[in-house]
Amino acid sequence: MSSVVVSAQSVGKRYTIGHRAVDRAPTLRDALVKGAGRVVRASSDILQGRAVVAGDETEDFWALKDVSFEIQAGDIVGLVGRNGAGKSTLLKILSRITDPSCGRIEIVGRVASLLEVGTGFHQELTGRENIFLNGAILGMSRAEIRGKFDEIVDFAGIDRFLDTPVKRYSNGMYVRLAFAVAAHLDPDVLIVDEVLTVGDADFQRKGLAKIQEAARAGRTVILVSHNMGVTTALCKSAIWLDGGLLRQVGPAAEVTRGYMMETTTLQGQFMSSLEGDAGRSFRVLDVQIRDAGGDVRRTFSCDESISVVIDYFVRRSVPHLRGCMEILREDDVLVMVSDSMDREHNALSALQEGHGTIRIRIPERTLSPGDYRVSLNFSGAGGLPDQDIDCPGHVAGFSLDDHLTPRGNARGGFFSSRLDWTSDCEV
């Protein structure tokens, strides 16, 4: 029995941006000053006989346009697309945070999203109190929470600290509790955004387990991931958004193949189109792969160091910002993961507001010759995925050639480090 759970008919979302988004008056004082400026300009226009065009300082931007699709009950649907393609906007509309500007969506049953993990947790309140608070925020009734309370506590494994304020919790406990509440929501439609690529392995495992479990119980899952491997493995079908338009809907394998063919042809550079995310606290504007001399290149020698250079913009400072870079081989095998918390000092933990650059240096002789793709993800405190922080995913690619060793490009394997070979016959 398959019935339609989500049906979208020519859904569109319009944001008014342009001049207003750039210098939208953040304070009343600015607004007054700007208002005065507008009056002066308008009156000088009139004096010079020019037509005063209403709304000349704004322009419309369609984050989503004419998107239609249907999702069957029990489906796992992947939502793919580049950053700024409208994925977040679609999720926001589905979870009712913002209204569509046109079109119509019908959803049968309760929608919950794992991007809300930990939303509304209050530092001063105890674990017990936060379970009720968070549950209510996610749409559970008190009776429902009471019924699942023991299960949630058990799942999170925090029973000894139930009456301790969560501000004294360790990061891990905090995440476990937050996740436990969300995991017991039993929604009809579950929206999962990026949990698979952010956070520690345990969190990833639980995220995946939750998806599989939900699917087994006949629920519908909408999964947003930049990891095409996971998308293809888990999803029956996929939706590909491109520049706010629906590019392709169909079987997951087919859609992801098309999407990957397009993204991997990007020449070392990341096409940034982040208009839809202008409100985020942390935004990734551009990512390039550069050589030691600072030139953007696509192909490198194994014997030179490579820098992944990220241009960012911080609108509001994000405490404990954490970055994670994955390097994947052409065939989607994960080769290397680097975390900004690998070193004792997390360089991202206190970024100043404004524009800046993050550099990740991959030393020479690290990876084997071949083609690689770089995936970047960022998270806030607790390693939780956060809608307020850009998670660009696959951003760039590069190739490595080995010119200096006899084995050269025929090396194979993962690494090209030169190891020391010694024998007791030498000195």
Q: Which of residues 322-381 bind another protein (CB under 8 A)?
A: 326, 328, 331-334, 337
103 forms part of the interface with another protein (CB under 8 A): yes
164 forms part of the interface with another protein (CB under 8 A): no
* Three-state DSSP class for residue 286: strand
Stretch that binds another protein, among 76-84, 223-231, 357-365, 398-406 (CB under 8 A): 223-231
Total residues in contact with another protein, by rule CB under 8 A: 74
Q: How far is CA 244 from the centre of its chain?
A: 17
Least distance in angstroms from the C-beta of 83 to another protein: 18
125 forms part of the interface with another protein (CB under 8 A): yes
Least distance in angstroms from the C-beta of 98 to another protein: 5
110 forms part of the interface with another protein (CB under 8 A): yes
* Three-state DSSP class for residue 404: coil
61 forms part of the interface with another protein (CB under 8 A): no
Compute the distance between CA of residue 267 and CA of residue 298 in angstroms, rounded to an integer: 6
Which listed residue (4, 245, 253, 348) binds another protein by CB under 8 A? 253
Which listed residue (66, 68, 69, 108) binds another protein by CB under 8 A? 108
Compute the distance between CA of residue 386 and CA of residue 398 in angstroms, rounded to an integer: 28
- Pick from 9, 60, 19: nearest CA to 276: 60
Nearer to another protein by C-beta: 151 or 359?
151
104 forms part of the interface with another protein (CB under 8 A): yes
End-to-end CA separation in angstroms for the chain? 77
> CB burial class (10 A; 0-12, 13-18, 19+) of residue 144?
middle
Which listed residue (43, 170, 171, 212) binds another protein by CB under 8 A? 212
Question: In Å, how far are 84, 129, 347 from 313, measured between CA atoms?
Answer: 15, 36, 15
> What track of x and - describes contact with another protein for positions 1 through 40 (by CB under 8 A)?
--------------x---------xxxxx-x---------
Q: What is the full DSSP assignment across 343-365?
A: SSS-TTTTPPSEEEEEEEEE-SS
Stretch that binds another protein, among 126-134, 167-175, 239-247, 287-295 (CB under 8 A): 126-134
237 forms part of the interface with another protein (CB under 8 A): no
Q: Name residue, tokens 């025929």.
A: 410
| Stretch 170-209 residues interacting with another protein (CB under 8 A) | 183-184, 186, 188, 196, 201, 204-205, 208-209
| Stretch 263-282 residues interacting with another protein (CB under 8 A) | 279
Compute the distance between CA of residue 101 and CA of residue 91 in angstroms, rounded to an integer: 14
Q: How many CA atoms, within 13 angstroms, populate the side-chain half-sphere of residue 153?
A: 17
155 forms part of the interface with another protein (CB under 8 A): yes
Contact partners, residue 378, CB within 8 Å, separation at least 6: 198, 282, 284, 321, 322, 323, 324, 348, 389, 390, 391
379 contacts 389 by C-beta, under 8 angstroms: yes
133 forms part of the interface with another protein (CB under 8 A): yes
Least distance in angstroms from the C-beta of 45 to another protein: 26
